[in-house]
Homo-oligomer: A and B are copies of this chain.
Amino acid sequence: MYVILVYDIGEKRVGKMLKHCRKYLNWIQNSVFEGEITEVKLKEMVHSARKIMDEESDSLIIFKSREERWLDKQVVGLERMSTDNFL
């Protein structure tokens, strides 16, 4: 499935979360990731993300689309997509 992930994480934890999400998805903008992922890998990512987060104050939202082609993407201005999204 194709997912878009956005997070709003406290400053002390955001570096760790960035590193964590980069193992699974492509960083495309400040606090925003996208990419293809399996249900199992998504569960694994969310499970360990919870350990990083303070669930009282941090927020993580994942939009799941069964197919990438059901999602059109329009970029206005600078495209910040980084290519170094692999370990």
A31 interface neighbour in B4, B30, B54, B60, Cβ under 8 Å: B30
In the complex, the chain B residue whose C-beta lies closest to that of A72 is B64
A12 within 8 A of B: no
A53 interface neighbour in B7, B53, B65, B76, Cβ under 8 Å: B76
A49 within 8 A of B: yes
In the complex, the chain B residue whose C-beta lies closest to that of A54 is B77
Number of this chain's copies in the assembly equals: 2
Which residues of B have CB within 8 Å of A54? Answer: 77
- Check B59 against A66 for contact (C-beta < 8 Å): no
- Check A80 against B59 for contact (C-beta < 8 Å): yes
21 contacts between A and B (CB under 8 A): A6-B31, A29-B61, A30-B59, A34-B63, A46-B76, A50-B76, A54-B77, A55-B77, A55-B78, A57-B77, A57-B78, A59-B78, A59-B79, A59-B80, A60-B76, A61-B74, A61-B75, A61-B76, A62-B76, A63-B63, A65-B65
